[in-house]
A and B are shown apart, each in its own frame.
Chain A
Amino acid sequence: MPELLEKLSFYLDFPFVRYAIIVGVLVSLCSSLLGVTLVLKRYSYIGDGLSHVAFGALSIAAVLKITNNMLLILPVTVAVAVLLLCTGKNARIKGDAAIAMVSVGALAIGYLLMNVFSTSANISGDVCTTLFGSTSILTLRVEEVYLCAALSIAVLAVFILFYHKIFAITFDENFAQATGVNTTIFNLLIAVIVAVIIVLAMNLVGALLVSALVVFPSLSAMRVFKSFFAVTVASAIISVVCSLIGIVVAILAGTPVGSTIVAADIVAFGLFYSISLIQGRGV
Protein backbone atom coordinates (compact mmCIF):
# COMPACT_ATOMS: atom_id res chain seq x y z
CA MET A 1 0.00 0.00 0.00
CA PRO A 2 2.70 2.59 0.89
CA GLU A 3 4.40 1.68 -2.42
CA LEU A 4 1.19 2.44 -4.33
CA LEU A 5 0.80 5.77 -2.54
CA GLU A 6 4.42 6.62 -3.29
CA LYS A 7 3.87 5.73 -6.95
CA LEU A 8 0.68 7.79 -7.06
CA SER A 9 2.41 10.79 -5.50
CA PHE A 10 5.23 10.38 -8.08
CA TYR A 11 2.66 10.37 -10.92
CA LEU A 12 0.82 13.38 -9.49
CA ASP A 13 3.99 15.43 -9.96
CA PHE A 14 3.36 15.31 -13.72
CA PRO A 15 1.18 18.21 -14.92
CA PHE A 16 -0.59 16.09 -17.56
CA VAL A 17 -1.84 13.74 -14.81
CA ARG A 18 -3.22 16.68 -12.84
CA TYR A 19 -4.91 18.02 -16.00
CA ALA A 20 -6.48 14.58 -16.57
CA ILE A 21 -7.88 14.51 -13.03
CA ILE A 22 -9.27 18.08 -13.26
CA VAL A 23 -10.95 17.45 -16.62
CA GLY A 24 -12.14 13.99 -15.49
CA VAL A 25 -13.86 15.40 -12.42
CA LEU A 26 -15.48 18.30 -14.31
CA VAL A 27 -16.72 16.20 -17.23
CA SER A 28 -18.09 13.41 -15.04
CA LEU A 29 -19.85 15.96 -12.83
CA CYS A 30 -21.56 17.66 -15.81
CA SER A 31 -22.48 14.44 -17.58
CA SER A 32 -24.08 12.95 -14.47
CA LEU A 33 -26.24 16.04 -13.87
CA LEU A 34 -27.83 15.89 -17.31
CA GLY A 35 -27.80 12.09 -17.21
CA VAL A 36 -30.74 12.04 -14.79
CA THR A 37 -32.86 14.12 -17.17
CA LEU A 38 -31.87 12.07 -20.22
CA VAL A 39 -32.58 8.73 -18.53
CA LEU A 40 -35.99 9.92 -17.30
CA LYS A 41 -36.88 11.35 -20.72
CA ARG A 42 -35.97 7.96 -22.30
CA TYR A 43 -33.00 9.44 -24.15
CA SER A 44 -30.32 7.26 -22.55
CA TYR A 45 -28.76 6.38 -25.86
CA ILE A 46 -28.45 9.93 -27.15
CA GLY A 47 -24.93 10.17 -25.72
CA ASP A 48 -23.85 7.35 -27.98
CA GLY A 49 -25.49 8.88 -31.04
CA LEU A 50 -24.02 12.34 -30.46
CA SER A 51 -20.54 11.03 -29.72
CA HIS A 52 -20.59 9.23 -33.07
CA VAL A 53 -21.62 12.49 -34.69
CA ALA A 54 -18.70 14.18 -32.94
CA PHE A 55 -16.44 11.42 -34.30
CA GLY A 56 -17.73 12.10 -37.82
CA ALA A 57 -17.10 15.85 -37.37
CA LEU A 58 -13.61 15.11 -36.02
CA SER A 59 -12.85 13.10 -39.16
CA ILE A 60 -13.99 15.99 -41.36
CA ALA A 61 -11.82 18.39 -39.29
CA ALA A 62 -8.84 16.04 -39.76
CA VAL A 63 -9.42 15.82 -43.52
CA LEU A 64 -9.76 19.61 -43.80
CA LYS A 65 -6.66 19.95 -41.57
CA ILE A 66 -8.44 22.30 -39.17
CA THR A 67 -6.00 22.95 -36.32
CA ASN A 68 -8.61 23.67 -33.66
CA ASN A 69 -11.08 20.86 -34.42
CA MET A 70 -13.46 22.06 -31.66
CA LEU A 71 -14.55 24.84 -34.04
CA LEU A 72 -16.18 22.20 -36.22
CA ILE A 73 -17.03 19.40 -33.77
CA LEU A 74 -18.99 21.53 -31.31
CA PRO A 75 -21.36 23.31 -33.79
CA VAL A 76 -22.05 20.08 -35.73
CA THR A 77 -22.81 18.10 -32.54
CA VAL A 78 -24.98 20.90 -31.15
CA ALA A 79 -26.93 21.09 -34.44
CA VAL A 80 -27.60 17.33 -34.46
CA ALA A 81 -28.52 17.36 -30.75
CA VAL A 82 -31.07 20.12 -31.43
CA LEU A 83 -32.48 18.12 -34.35
CA LEU A 84 -32.80 14.95 -32.27
CA LEU A 85 -34.11 16.45 -29.05
CA CYS A 86 -36.24 19.32 -30.30
CA THR A 87 -38.20 17.85 -33.19
CA GLY A 88 -39.89 15.49 -30.69
CA LYS A 89 -43.28 14.10 -31.56
CA ASN A 90 -43.56 15.97 -34.85
CA ALA A 91 -40.52 14.31 -36.41
CA ARG A 92 -41.08 12.01 -39.37
CA ILE A 93 -38.34 9.67 -38.11
CA LYS A 94 -38.91 9.37 -34.39
CA GLY A 95 -36.79 8.89 -31.21
CA ASP A 96 -34.64 5.78 -31.16
CA ALA A 97 -34.79 5.30 -34.94
CA ALA A 98 -33.43 8.82 -35.55
CA ILE A 99 -30.66 8.31 -32.96
CA ALA A 100 -29.70 4.93 -34.45
CA MET A 101 -29.63 6.36 -37.97
CA VAL A 102 -27.51 9.38 -37.05
CA SER A 103 -25.21 7.31 -34.82
CA VAL A 104 -24.34 4.60 -37.33
CA GLY A 105 -24.31 6.99 -40.29
CA ALA A 106 -21.86 9.42 -38.66
CA LEU A 107 -19.59 6.59 -37.50
CA ALA A 108 -19.46 5.05 -40.97
CA ILE A 109 -18.91 8.35 -42.78
CA GLY A 110 -16.23 9.36 -40.26
CA TYR A 111 -14.28 6.13 -40.72
CA LEU A 112 -14.72 6.28 -44.48
CA LEU A 113 -13.35 9.84 -44.64
CA MET A 114 -10.40 8.95 -42.41
CA ASN A 115 -9.50 6.09 -44.72
CA VAL A 116 -10.06 7.77 -48.08
CA PHE A 117 -8.42 11.11 -47.16
CA SER A 118 -5.80 9.70 -44.83
CA THR A 119 -3.70 12.39 -43.11
CA SER A 120 -1.99 10.09 -40.63
CA ALA A 121 0.34 7.12 -40.87
CA ASN A 122 -1.67 5.25 -38.23
CA ILE A 123 -5.39 5.46 -39.12
CA SER A 124 -6.41 2.47 -37.01
CA GLY A 125 -4.57 3.99 -34.04
CA ASP A 126 -6.29 7.36 -34.47
CA VAL A 127 -9.71 5.72 -34.80
CA CYS A 128 -9.07 3.40 -31.87
CA THR A 129 -7.97 6.15 -29.50
CA THR A 130 -10.92 8.38 -30.49
CA LEU A 131 -13.44 5.58 -30.03
CA PHE A 132 -12.05 4.09 -26.82
CA GLY A 133 -10.22 7.09 -25.32
CA SER A 134 -7.30 4.93 -24.24
CA THR A 135 -4.97 7.79 -23.32
CA SER A 136 -6.39 10.97 -24.87
CA ILE A 137 -7.16 12.34 -21.40
CA LEU A 138 -3.41 12.18 -20.65
CA THR A 139 -2.51 14.13 -23.78
CA LEU A 140 -4.51 17.31 -23.06
CA ARG A 141 -3.01 20.75 -23.67
CA VAL A 142 -3.38 23.53 -21.08
CA GLU A 143 -5.72 25.44 -23.42
CA GLU A 144 -7.98 22.39 -23.63
CA VAL A 145 -8.11 22.20 -19.83
CA TYR A 146 -9.14 25.87 -19.64
CA LEU A 147 -11.77 25.36 -22.37
CA CYS A 148 -13.13 22.34 -20.54
CA ALA A 149 -13.23 24.23 -17.22
CA ALA A 150 -15.05 27.20 -18.83
CA LEU A 151 -17.63 24.97 -20.57
CA SER A 152 -18.16 22.90 -17.42
CA ILE A 153 -18.75 26.01 -15.31
CA ALA A 154 -21.24 27.25 -17.95
CA VAL A 155 -23.07 23.90 -17.90
CA LEU A 156 -23.19 23.85 -14.08
CA ALA A 157 -24.43 27.45 -13.96
CA VAL A 158 -27.21 26.78 -16.47
CA PHE A 159 -28.26 23.61 -14.62
CA ILE A 160 -28.38 25.35 -11.22
CA LEU A 161 -30.07 28.47 -12.63
CA PHE A 162 -32.81 26.55 -14.48
CA TYR A 163 -33.02 23.55 -12.15
CA HIS A 164 -36.79 23.91 -11.54
CA LYS A 165 -37.60 24.32 -15.25
CA ILE A 166 -35.45 21.31 -16.17
CA PHE A 167 -37.19 19.34 -13.42
CA ALA A 168 -40.62 20.29 -14.79
CA ILE A 169 -39.74 19.40 -18.40
CA THR A 170 -38.15 16.12 -17.36
CA PHE A 171 -41.26 14.75 -15.65
CA ASP A 172 -44.17 16.21 -17.60
CA GLU A 173 -43.47 18.37 -20.62
CA ASN A 174 -47.16 18.97 -21.40
CA PHE A 175 -47.92 20.08 -17.84
CA ALA A 176 -44.85 22.33 -17.84
CA GLN A 177 -46.05 23.91 -21.09
CA ALA A 178 -49.54 24.40 -19.64
CA THR A 179 -48.05 26.21 -16.64
CA GLY A 180 -46.28 28.70 -18.90
CA VAL A 181 -42.82 27.16 -19.25
CA ASN A 182 -41.38 27.72 -22.73
CA THR A 183 -40.57 24.05 -23.33
CA THR A 184 -39.12 24.69 -26.79
CA ILE A 185 -36.46 27.02 -25.43
CA PHE A 186 -35.61 24.70 -22.53
CA ASN A 187 -35.47 21.60 -24.75
CA LEU A 188 -33.11 23.58 -26.98
CA LEU A 189 -31.01 24.50 -23.94
CA ILE A 190 -30.86 20.86 -22.80
CA ALA A 191 -29.87 19.77 -26.32
CA VAL A 192 -27.02 22.31 -26.45
CA ILE A 193 -25.76 21.33 -22.98
CA VAL A 194 -25.92 17.62 -23.82
CA ALA A 195 -23.90 18.20 -27.00
CA VAL A 196 -21.25 20.20 -25.11
CA ILE A 197 -20.96 17.50 -22.45
CA ILE A 198 -20.66 14.73 -25.04
CA VAL A 199 -17.87 16.53 -26.90
CA LEU A 200 -16.02 17.13 -23.63
CA ALA A 201 -16.55 13.55 -22.43
CA MET A 202 -15.10 12.08 -25.64
CA ASN A 203 -11.63 13.05 -24.40
CA LEU A 204 -12.24 11.25 -21.14
CA VAL A 205 -13.68 7.90 -22.16
CA GLY A 206 -13.80 7.94 -25.96
CA ALA A 207 -16.79 8.09 -28.30
CA LEU A 208 -18.02 4.53 -27.77
CA LEU A 209 -18.10 4.76 -23.98
CA VAL A 210 -19.63 8.21 -23.49
CA SER A 211 -23.09 6.80 -22.81
CA ALA A 212 -21.75 5.07 -19.72
CA LEU A 213 -20.91 8.43 -18.11
CA VAL A 214 -24.44 9.65 -18.79
CA VAL A 215 -26.37 6.52 -17.86
CA PHE A 216 -24.56 4.58 -15.10
CA PRO A 217 -24.33 7.20 -12.31
CA SER A 218 -28.01 8.16 -12.74
CA LEU A 219 -29.19 4.54 -12.77
CA SER A 220 -27.04 3.73 -9.72
CA ALA A 221 -28.47 6.69 -7.79
CA MET A 222 -32.04 5.77 -8.82
CA ARG A 223 -31.63 2.33 -7.18
CA VAL A 224 -31.39 3.92 -3.73
CA PHE A 225 -32.72 7.48 -3.88
CA LYS A 226 -36.19 8.47 -5.01
CA SER A 227 -36.46 12.27 -5.24
CA PHE A 228 -35.13 14.16 -8.30
CA PHE A 229 -32.83 16.29 -6.13
CA ALA A 230 -31.40 13.34 -4.17
CA VAL A 231 -30.87 11.32 -7.35
CA THR A 232 -29.13 14.27 -9.06
CA VAL A 233 -26.78 14.91 -6.11
CA ALA A 234 -26.02 11.20 -5.59
CA SER A 235 -25.48 10.75 -9.33
CA ALA A 236 -22.94 13.61 -9.36
CA ILE A 237 -21.05 12.17 -6.38
CA ILE A 238 -21.03 8.63 -7.81
CA SER A 239 -19.84 9.88 -11.19
CA VAL A 240 -16.98 11.99 -9.79
CA VAL A 241 -15.82 9.23 -7.42
CA CYS A 242 -15.91 6.58 -10.19
CA SER A 243 -13.99 8.83 -12.58
CA LEU A 244 -11.33 9.54 -9.95
CA ILE A 245 -11.00 5.84 -9.11
CA GLY A 246 -10.91 4.96 -12.82
CA ILE A 247 -8.18 7.49 -13.66
CA VAL A 248 -6.05 6.54 -10.64
CA VAL A 249 -6.37 2.79 -11.31
CA ALA A 250 -5.63 3.31 -15.01
CA ILE A 251 -2.41 5.22 -14.39
CA LEU A 252 -1.28 2.87 -11.61
CA ALA A 253 -2.14 -0.40 -13.35
CA GLY A 254 -1.52 0.74 -16.93
CA THR A 255 -5.04 -0.03 -18.12
CA PRO A 256 -6.99 2.04 -20.71
CA VAL A 257 -8.44 5.11 -18.96
CA GLY A 258 -11.91 5.13 -20.57
CA SER A 259 -12.80 1.50 -19.99
CA THR A 260 -11.39 1.58 -16.43
CA ILE A 261 -13.70 4.50 -15.57
CA VAL A 262 -16.67 2.63 -17.06
CA ALA A 263 -15.68 -0.51 -15.11
CA ALA A 264 -15.72 1.57 -11.91
CA ASP A 265 -19.21 2.83 -12.87
CA ILE A 266 -20.40 -0.78 -13.38
CA VAL A 267 -19.06 -1.79 -9.95
CA ALA A 268 -20.84 1.21 -8.38
CA PHE A 269 -24.08 0.21 -10.12
CA GLY A 270 -23.70 -3.35 -8.74
CA LEU A 271 -23.14 -1.93 -5.27
CA PHE A 272 -26.17 0.37 -5.35
CA TYR A 273 -28.31 -2.39 -6.88
CA SER A 274 -27.32 -4.67 -3.98
CA ILE A 275 -28.17 -1.93 -1.48
CA SER A 276 -31.61 -1.52 -3.07
CA LEU A 277 -32.20 -5.29 -2.82
CA ILE A 278 -31.18 -5.27 0.85
CA GLN A 279 -33.56 -2.34 1.46
CA GLY A 280 -36.27 -4.42 -0.16
CA ARG A 281 -36.94 -2.03 -3.00
CA GLY A 282 -36.55 -4.69 -5.69
CA VAL A 283 -35.31 -3.97 -9.21
Chain B
Amino acid sequence: MFKVVLAVLLAFAALFAKEPGGKEKYDIDISRMSGTMVYGQVYQMVTYPSKYLGKHIKMKGFFSSYYDEELERRFYGCVIQDALACCSQGLAFELAKPREFPKEYPAEGDVITITGDFDFESDEGGGGFPIIRNAEMQTEK
Protein backbone atom coordinates (compact mmCIF):
# COMPACT_ATOMS: atom_id res chain seq x y z
CA MET B 1 0.00 0.00 0.00
CA PHE B 2 2.82 2.39 0.97
CA LYS B 3 4.53 1.73 -2.37
CA VAL B 4 1.35 2.53 -4.28
CA VAL B 5 0.88 5.83 -2.40
CA LEU B 6 4.54 6.70 -2.98
CA ALA B 7 4.22 5.90 -6.68
CA VAL B 8 1.09 8.10 -6.98
CA LEU B 9 2.84 10.94 -5.12
CA LEU B 10 5.90 10.65 -7.34
CA ALA B 11 3.70 10.60 -10.44
CA PHE B 12 1.96 13.81 -9.27
CA ALA B 13 5.30 15.44 -8.46
CA ALA B 14 6.59 14.57 -11.91
CA LEU B 15 3.39 15.87 -13.48
CA PHE B 16 3.69 19.24 -11.77
CA ALA B 17 7.45 19.58 -12.20
CA LYS B 18 7.48 18.91 -15.93
CA GLU B 19 5.17 19.56 -18.83
CA PRO B 20 4.19 16.62 -21.05
CA GLY B 21 7.09 15.66 -23.22
CA GLY B 22 9.62 16.22 -20.44
CA LYS B 23 9.63 20.01 -20.86
CA GLU B 24 10.32 22.21 -17.84
CA LYS B 25 7.45 24.35 -16.53
CA TYR B 26 7.91 28.12 -16.43
CA ASP B 27 6.00 30.89 -14.70
CA ILE B 28 6.78 33.15 -17.65
CA ASP B 29 7.93 31.69 -20.96
CA ILE B 30 8.98 34.71 -23.02
CA SER B 31 10.48 32.49 -25.70
CA ARG B 32 6.93 31.52 -26.81
CA MET B 33 5.89 35.14 -27.36
CA SER B 34 5.92 37.30 -30.49
CA GLY B 35 8.51 40.10 -30.75
CA THR B 36 6.03 42.82 -29.77
CA MET B 37 4.84 40.86 -26.72
CA VAL B 38 8.40 40.04 -25.65
CA TYR B 39 9.27 43.74 -25.65
CA GLY B 40 6.16 44.61 -23.62
CA GLN B 41 6.77 41.79 -21.13
CA VAL B 42 10.47 42.57 -20.58
CA TYR B 43 9.55 46.26 -20.13
CA GLN B 44 7.13 45.22 -17.35
CA MET B 45 9.79 43.06 -15.69
CA VAL B 46 12.39 45.82 -15.80
CA THR B 47 9.96 48.52 -14.63
CA TYR B 48 8.12 46.52 -11.94
CA PRO B 49 10.69 43.89 -10.83
CA SER B 50 9.05 43.25 -7.44
CA LYS B 51 6.05 41.61 -9.18
CA TYR B 52 8.27 38.96 -10.73
CA LEU B 53 10.68 38.05 -7.91
CA GLY B 54 11.29 34.28 -7.74
CA LYS B 55 9.44 33.54 -10.98
CA HIS B 56 10.94 30.85 -13.17
CA ILE B 57 11.67 32.50 -16.52
CA LYS B 58 12.58 31.35 -20.00
CA MET B 59 13.65 33.93 -22.56
CA LYS B 60 15.24 34.01 -25.97
CA GLY B 61 17.34 36.88 -27.27
CA PHE B 62 20.80 38.05 -28.29
CA PHE B 63 23.85 37.42 -26.13
CA SER B 64 25.62 40.53 -24.88
CA SER B 65 28.27 41.18 -22.24
CA TYR B 66 30.21 44.08 -20.82
CA TYR B 67 32.90 44.57 -18.21
CA ASP B 68 32.32 47.16 -15.48
CA GLU B 69 35.79 48.41 -14.55
CA GLU B 70 34.59 50.18 -11.42
CA LEU B 71 32.97 47.05 -10.02
CA GLU B 72 35.56 44.77 -11.65
CA ARG B 73 32.75 42.52 -12.75
CA ARG B 74 31.60 41.19 -16.12
CA PHE B 75 27.85 41.29 -16.77
CA TYR B 76 26.08 38.97 -19.18
CA GLY B 77 22.76 39.83 -20.76
CA CYS B 78 20.00 38.44 -22.94
CA VAL B 79 18.83 41.34 -25.15
CA ILE B 80 15.62 41.62 -27.17
CA GLN B 81 14.63 44.28 -29.71
CA ASP B 82 11.26 45.82 -30.49
CA ALA B 83 9.45 45.33 -33.80
CA LEU B 84 11.15 48.38 -35.31
CA ALA B 85 14.57 47.24 -34.06
CA CYS B 86 15.27 50.75 -32.78
CA CYS B 87 14.78 49.98 -29.08
CA SER B 88 16.23 47.14 -27.10
CA GLN B 89 15.70 45.80 -23.61
CA GLY B 90 17.53 43.10 -21.80
CA LEU B 91 17.89 41.11 -18.64
CA ALA B 92 21.20 40.29 -17.00
CA PHE B 93 21.81 36.66 -16.09
CA GLU B 94 24.13 34.70 -13.85
CA LEU B 95 24.86 31.11 -14.80
CA ALA B 96 24.28 28.37 -12.24
CA LYS B 97 27.53 26.75 -13.36
CA PRO B 98 30.03 29.55 -14.08
CA ARG B 99 31.89 29.35 -17.39
CA GLU B 100 35.14 30.83 -18.57
CA PHE B 101 34.81 34.04 -20.60
CA PRO B 102 35.09 34.32 -23.57
CA LYS B 103 36.04 30.73 -24.37
CA GLU B 104 32.87 29.07 -23.13
CA TYR B 105 30.45 31.88 -23.97
CA PRO B 106 28.75 32.58 -27.31
CA ALA B 107 29.84 35.49 -29.50
CA GLU B 108 28.19 38.94 -29.12
CA GLY B 109 24.84 38.90 -30.92
CA ASP B 110 24.42 35.11 -30.99
CA VAL B 111 20.89 33.91 -30.31
CA ILE B 112 20.63 32.36 -26.83
CA THR B 113 17.89 30.87 -24.67
CA ILE B 114 18.12 31.52 -20.95
CA THR B 115 16.19 29.76 -18.20
CA GLY B 116 16.42 30.71 -14.54
CA ASP B 117 14.87 32.51 -11.59
CA PHE B 118 14.02 36.21 -11.68
CA ASP B 119 15.71 38.33 -9.02
CA PHE B 120 16.58 41.97 -8.35
CA GLU B 121 20.12 42.95 -7.43
CA SER B 122 20.28 46.14 -5.38
CA ASP B 123 23.29 48.40 -5.63
CA GLU B 124 24.85 50.75 -3.08
CA GLY B 125 23.26 53.85 -4.61
CA GLY B 126 19.74 52.65 -3.77
CA GLY B 127 19.07 51.49 -7.33
CA GLY B 128 19.57 48.09 -8.87
CA PHE B 129 18.77 45.92 -11.82
CA PRO B 130 16.82 42.75 -12.56
CA ILE B 131 18.84 39.59 -13.06
CA ILE B 132 18.10 35.94 -13.86
CA ARG B 133 19.85 33.75 -11.28
CA ASN B 134 20.70 30.02 -11.44
CA ALA B 135 20.56 30.41 -15.18
CA GLU B 136 21.12 27.83 -17.85
CA MET B 137 22.12 29.03 -21.30
CA GLN B 138 21.67 27.36 -24.64
CA THR B 139 23.10 28.78 -27.83
CA GLU B 140 21.15 28.49 -31.06
CA LYS B 141 23.28 27.15 -33.86
A residues contacting B by CB (< 8 A) are 10-11, 14, 16-17, 20, 122, 124-126, 128-129, 132, 134-135, 138-139, 250-257
Task: Give which listed residue, B32, B33, B83, contacts A135 with CB less than 8 A.
Answer: B83
Q: Are B40 and A254 in contact (CB under 8 A)?
A: no
- The residue in chain B whose Cβ has the minimal distance to the Cβ of A128 is B86
CA distance A218 to B86 in the complex (A): 32
- The residue in chain B whose Cβ has the minimal distance to the Cβ of A139 is B43
Q: How far is the CB of A39 from chain B (nearest CB, A)?
A: 29
Q: Are A134 and B40 in contact (CB under 8 A)?
A: no
Q: Are B83 and A250 in contact (CB under 8 A)?
A: yes
Q: Say yes or no for B107: interface residue by CB 8 A criterion.
A: no
Task: Give which listed residue, A128, A251, A254, contacts B87 with CB less than 8 A.
Answer: A128
Q: How far is the CB of B79 from chain A (nearest CB, A)?
A: 12
Chain B residues in 8 Å Cβ range of A252: 34
| CB neighbors of A among B34-86 (8 A) | 34-41, 43-44, 47, 82-84, 86
CA distance A250 to B82 in the complex (A): 12
Q: How far is the CB of B58 from chain A (nearest CB, A)?
A: 14
Q: How far is the CB of A3 from chain B (nearest CB, A)?
A: 12
Q: Beyond A128-B84, A134-B86, is A254–B41 a contact (Cβ under 8 Å)? A: no
Chain B residues in 8 Å Cβ range of A254: 34-38, 83
- The residue in chain A whose Cβ has the minimal distance to the Cβ of B87 is A125
Task: Give which listed residue, A122, A125, A251, contacts B36 with CB less than 8 A.
Answer: A251
Q: Are A124 and B44 in contact (CB under 8 A)?
A: no
Q: Are A134 and B37 in contact (CB under 8 A)?
A: no
Q: Beyond A14-B41, A135-B39, A139-B43, is A122–B87 a contact (Cβ under 8 Å)? A: yes
CA distance A262 to B39 in the complex (A): 20
Interface of B is mostly: helix
Q: How far is the CB of B102 from chain A (nearest CB, A)?
A: 24
CA distance A190 to B120 in the complex (A): 48
Task: Give which listed residue, B33, B47, B83, contacts A134 with CB less than 8 A.
Answer: B83
A-B contacts, 29 listed (Cβ < 8 Å): A11-B33, A14-B44, A17-B37, A124-B86, A125-B86, A125-B87, A128-B87, A129-B86, A132-B86, A134-B82, A134-B83, A134-B86, A134-B87, A135-B36, A135-B39, A135-B40, A135-B43, A135-B82, A135-B87, A138-B43, A139-B43, A251-B36, A251-B37, A253-B34, A254-B35, A256-B36, A256-B82, A256-B83, A257-B83
Q: How far is the CB of A134 from chain B (nearest CB, A)?
A: 4
Chain A residues in 8 Å Cβ range of B34: 251-254
9 smallest A-B Cβ distances: which pairs? Answer: A138-B40, A254-B34, A128-B86, A254-B35, A125-B87, A256-B83, A134-B84, A139-B43, A135-B39
